[in-house]
Amino acid sequence: MFKKLDILDEKDKRLRIVSKEVTFPISKEYKNLIQRAIDHLTYSQIEEYEKKYNLRPGMGLAFPQLGINERIIIIVNEVDDGIFENYVVINPKIVSNSAEMVAVEAGEGCLSVNREVPGQVLRYARVTVEGFDEDGNKIRVRAREDLSVAFQHEIDHLNGILFFDRIDPNKRFYSDIEIRLI
């Protein structure tokens, strides 16, 4: 039975804490929450369930958004119509990045930010992320475009950073001559 997650709102101070490194093995409770996050994010991207459960669409979530200040991120990326890839990375670190920057043209969204924030965020077009899976095995993910943005956005959550912190108030939008918009 699907149960919606309780996601903290941007005003909650716990979103501003630098989260702790996770030690292994992780608890059953954490594994359970990870699965619920995958379900929530997947359902939120399927129109039928989005409506049925009144979900806001989102592709990523970080543990601090659930009130747990530990370094775990979950991303569900729709690679094709109705085909989803899940990424669960524990203690993620960006180990390399492209020189090229991009920005999501429409601006980023966040399940903790329940309002429109005008502006674009500059992100690396490609990143390599290292970390651990749920069983403590070392993993490495190469991400580009939307997925790269998602990793950077979620890792920011682990450091108490929300996407709008990175919007330049003196220059909220870029043209596609200045930056590649995706």
User: Binding Ni ion by CB under 5 A: which of 33, 55, 72, 110?
Assistant: 110
Asked if 75 touches Ni ion (CB under 5 A), the answer is: no
CA gap 38, 49 in Å, rounded = 14
How near is the Cβ of 24 to Ni ion at its closest, in Å? 25
How near is the Cβ of 163 to Ni ion at its closest, in Å? 6
How near is the Cβ of 6 to Ni ion at its closest, in Å? 15
CA gap 165, 150 in Å, rounded = 16
Residues 70, 134, 154, 178: which is the catalytic one?
154
Determine the interface stretch with Ni ion among 43-51, 105-113, 130-138, 165-173 (rule: CB under 5 A). 105-113
Instruction: Please give the helix or strand (H or E) that residue 147 lies within, else none.
Output: helix 145-158
Smaller CB separation from Ni ion, 38 or 110: 110
Q: Which residue is nearest to Ni ion (CB)?
A: 110
154 is catalytic: yes
Smaller CB separation from Ni ion, 78 or 135: 78
CA gap 156, 92 in Å, rounded = 11
Residues that bind Ni ion (CB under 5 A): 110
The set of catalytic residues is: 154
